[in-house]
Structure 1
């Protein structure tokens, strides 16, 4: 398997200062890092694609550490996360699934062993395609206040023979979250759900 070929890395930080109602005491930060990589399986069907997941692990860890640094560098500040992939038109949806293990493993490691499964989405799309990356709490998937999403994309990607892989982190709940459910303060931390 060839080395992962990176064409572009982009980082986006959103600072949410207002959502109607009173401004929050501390703005919510939502960050994303996107990486356009060559898709080694573009243009033809390959029955065994799983080995490329191992090749993607170092990229995932590098991206997670870069995103964490862009959000201030303190793993304790990160409360939400998610991941995704946009596969260019010469690829197939399953190529995006190659990001599940490397992306999730990387964020849990960078954050010191977060418990919850990292939510994910993927699609096949053309140049400029956008993706809504789902977000949940890093330690308990049932914390409703942290159910969120961040829309991301590259204006020049993915090219047909590329995959854009994405990681997202947030520093808190939705601004003015108030629809009940398990509160972050009540997380038991046993199973990644509650």
Structure 2
């Protein structure tokens, strides 16, 4: 199966403060979106698994582009998440095909990332927005890294398309101060603590 990509969109936020003191090092939050044709749009298809395999190269390409947008060093990435928006001729299960290719591509390129990659998905028309959840790459319980990156494209997804999303951050929220497990305290217990 060949996946047809209409376009990629990359965005990077550089956050210096949220009303408090200016950070010495700004937080960067980045997202990459790929608009692809949905080969299953318009009809119910029982076996959709071939598409999951076909998405793997796109996932790796997107993860590499996202790391490059954040400066090129995977060691600078501390948070990640993924998501998908399916056009209205598709179904929510088509977005679920992105779980493995999207998550494993980031984990592979980031090296030692242990935590599950959080995800969000929905069906929507062009311009639909999605909040991609973010957690620490090695421990899902690190509160300082709980975040979200809002994504969307004005002309996508068309009814027969899917918008695939990956998001990464370079650190905690800019003024994180609500306690909980610190990144420096991660023990690596099943990627959760």
Counterpart residue number, 1:146: 145
1:132 aligned residue: 131
Please state how far the C-alpha of 1:50 moved relative to its aligned partner.
Answer: 1.3
Alignment of 1:1-194 (within 5 A): 1=1, 3-194=2-193
Local SS of the residue matching 1:69: helix
Deviation at residue 75 of structure 1 after TM alignment: 0.9
State the distance in 2 between where 1:8 and 1:113 align.
Answer: 30
User: How many residues in Structure 1 have an aligned counterpart in Structure 2?
Assistant: 193
Structure 2 gaps of 5+ residues are: none
* Preserved CA contact (<8 Å) 2:11 2:31: yes
SS at match of 1:163: strand
Residue by residue over 1:58-77, the C-alpha shift from the partner in whole angstroms, topping out at 9 and shown as x without a partner, is: 00000000000110111111
After TM superposition, which residue ranges in structure 1, 4 or more long, deviate above 2 angstroms? none
Residue 25 of structure 1 and its aligned partner are, at CA, apart by 1.0
What's the Cα RMSD here? 0.6
Answer yes or no: is the 8 Å Cα contact 2:143–2:181 preserved in 1: yes
Shift of 1:190: 3.2
**Aligned-partner Cα distance in 1 for 2:13–2:187:** 30
Q: Distance in 1 between matches of 2:180 and 2:139?
A: 12
TM-score using structure 1 length: 0.98
What is the DSSP-based 3-state SS (H/G/I as helix, E as strand, rest coil) of the residue aligned with 2:178? coil
Q: Alpha-carbon deviations, 1:58-114, whole Å to 9, x = none?
A: 000000000001101111110000000000000000000000000001000010130
SS in 1 for 2:43: coil
Describe the superposition over 1:147-194 as per-residue Cα deviations: whole angstroms up to 9, x where unpaired: 000001111100000000000000000011111110000001231001
